[in-house]
Chains A and B, each alone.
Chain A
Amino acid sequence: MSIWGTLEAWLHRVSQFGVDLSAVCLALMMVIGTADVLGIAFLSAPVPSATEASEVLLAMAIFLPLMYVQRTHKHIAVDQLLQRLPFPARWTAEAFALLAGLLVLGVIAWQAGVLTVSSWSVREYANAEITFPLYPVKAIVAFGAAAATLEYLRQLILHFVRPHHSPTKPNA
């Protein structure tokens, strides 16, 4: 297998892993939230740190699938005008869209990285009954955004290498 092929397979696995981990986070949110509601209602005993745990799980559940969402073209866009443009204009618009996505997600990933480093440097912990470190969560958020940035980069490279292969079609 070529280097590009290996890289493709690896990126595919990373995107799948992100969605799978997001699913686990959602399942945990559901279990913790329900246990908390029932604990309060029937035992007058909430699950300790349930709110804080749900908050960090939400962040991970949102950021981890971003790469897969871009890979499968599930971002919402309006493409009526795009489809009517002649090929060179459409190609340019698509390249610009990928570049814009690369920049935006890149900045989010970079700044999430900065947030992680500053959180790590002060050993930031959640202000909760059962305390836990926040920097791993911030690192996961940065990872999710960085993975999505990589996917934009992959699609941008493909857009230049295979100019007739539209990135608006799934699995480009």
Chain B
Amino acid sequence: MDPLLAGSLAIAVMLLLIALGLPIAISMALVSFAGMYLAVGLDFALGAFRNLPYSMSTQFAFVAIPMFMLMGAFAFVGGVTTELYTFAYRLLSRFRGSLYYATIVAAAGFAAVSGSSVVSASVFTRISLPEMIRFKFNRGIGAGCIAASGTFAAMIPPSITMVVYGIITGESIGALLIAGVLPGLLTVLVYVVGLQIMLRFRPDWAPPTTDRFSWAQKLDSFKKVWAVSLLAAIVIGGIYSGIMPPSAAGTLGAAGALVICILRRKMSRGDFWKSLRETGESSAALFLIMIGGLLLSRMLLAVGFVDEVTKLVQAANLSPTEFILFVILIYVVLGMFIDALSMLIMTIPFIYPAVKALAMDPIWFGILVVKLVEIAVITPPVGLNLYAVLSASGGSVKTHELLKGIVPFIVFEFITLVILWQFPAISTYLPKLMLG
């Protein structure tokens, strides 16, 4: 069979199986096995299933994933989110829309110690949404702000999404993590400026708050966040300076978060084991998807699909602009229906060869993809962060309010995406400095 047809057929079958409710990891692995068996033979397929899962799960570089998860879990147990929010709110309380800004700044701060956007969204719903409701802020915009701010965790290091992209593509995980710093800060800036502009036209979305804080109170709240800020600085700085690989930085970050929790007496033995167990479960589910993704890559390579795509892209004389528009279209459509991280894992095996064929910077492309993943988690109907906010709000926000409220933030995300697309240096400057 023609390799292009075989590969396309395999991808179509995989999407059909996913649509029929098969777990994404199982769909990818099943199609990979069938593809390898039909194209190369049973021995090859069994060999891939024998070696790939074990070799993938024994890579030191991948230790970063559970350790970044654990760091976030410990930071959550330690009440870091509340402290960050209190600090940000006290600092910004005099501005109109202060509760929105506080949520954005605190979520960005939490993103520096946690790689999970869903955790961020659900936690900030519990902390900041009641305050927004108390001050009669627009519920939809407030809930949208929380859901969208949660996505910072995918861009700002330590980002699990970046590590996954690095694993699937083989790009430097350290460089990818560092590449997310400036785009993450840019996203925060776009949100803040965008909200300011919106509030000029719709001041009723954010009535002035009556809370005012003295400098002593602001300083007091800062005292509670300095330790975690230092920990985030050590982890990110360690990766940037090359002193620590991301995996080592992850273990140090997790241990540091644990020590902070213990010193503050906020970690019971039960919390400790619960965090570890949940990290184990999440890691197992994620790694099974990654194993599926790598098997899919191996199958597409074995059937000759990757070579054919590369040739096709070169023959079609596709410009990078056309290609990126095509990728945006794929991700926006798939992102509406498929979990964002799974979407990344199942699409990169056939998109990445084209990136290489077009001689695009893979780190910059990774940032664009992560931005699209961020958009996917807030795009209905399968926007995980939207569900996280709805479920954590306990019914105080209606689905239609959130779906309306998320729209401005999707627009902000697309504005940021265009800026990142047009100015690749924002993504590549720090990695180039880092790699010398």
Chain A residues in the interface with B (C-beta under 8 A):
19-20, 22-27, 29-34, 36-38, 41, 51, 54-56, 58-59, 61-66, 68-69, 72, 74-82, 93-94, 96-97, 100-101, 103-104, 107-108, 111-112, 114-115, 137-138, 141, 145, 168
Q: A59-B57, A78-B337 are in contact. Are A33 and B277 (CB under 8 A)?
A: no
Contact A33 B54 (CB under 8 A): no
Contact B280 A23 (CB under 8 A): yes
Shortest beta-carbon distance, A147 to chain B, in Å? 11
**Which of B282-290, B348-356, B387-395 lines the interface with chain A?**
B282-290
**Bound: A123/B222 CA distance, A:** 56
Contact B284 A30 (CB under 8 A): no
Q: A63-B284, A80-B381 are in contact. Are A138 and B33 (CB under 8 A)?
A: no
Q: Give B274's nearest chain A residue, CB to CB.
A: A23
Shortest beta-carbon distance, B156 to chain A, in Å? 22
Q: A77-B24, A103-B30 are in contact. Are A108 and B342 (CB under 8 A)?
A: no
**Bound: A30/B26 CA distance, A:** 30
Q: Hey, what's the 0/1 contact readout for B359-384 against A, CB within 8 Å counting as 1?
A: 00000000000000000000001100
Chain B residues in the interface with A (C-beta under 8 A):
17-27, 29-30, 33, 46, 49-51, 53-54, 57-60, 62-63, 66-67, 70, 243-244, 247-252, 254-255, 258, 273, 276-277, 279-285, 287-289, 291, 337-339, 341-342, 381-382
A-B contact pairs, 5 of them (CB 8 A): A26-B283, A58-B62, A63-B57, A69-B281, A96-B20
**Bound: A41/B254 CA distance, A:** 17
Q: A29-B67, A54-B63, A107-B33 are in contact. Are A112 and B23 (CB under 8 A)?
A: no
Contact A76 B289 (CB under 8 A): yes
DSSP majority for the A interface? helix
**Best-surrounded residue of B70, B251, B287, B341 (most CB of chain A within 10 A):** B251
**Bound: A58/B251 CA distance, A:** 12
Partner of B66, one of A61, A104, A114: A61
Q: Give A111's nearest chain B residue, CB to CB.
A: B50
Specify which chain B residues have a CB less than 8 angstroms from the CB of A69 in the assembled complex. 281, 284-285, 288
Contact A77 B248 (CB under 8 A): no
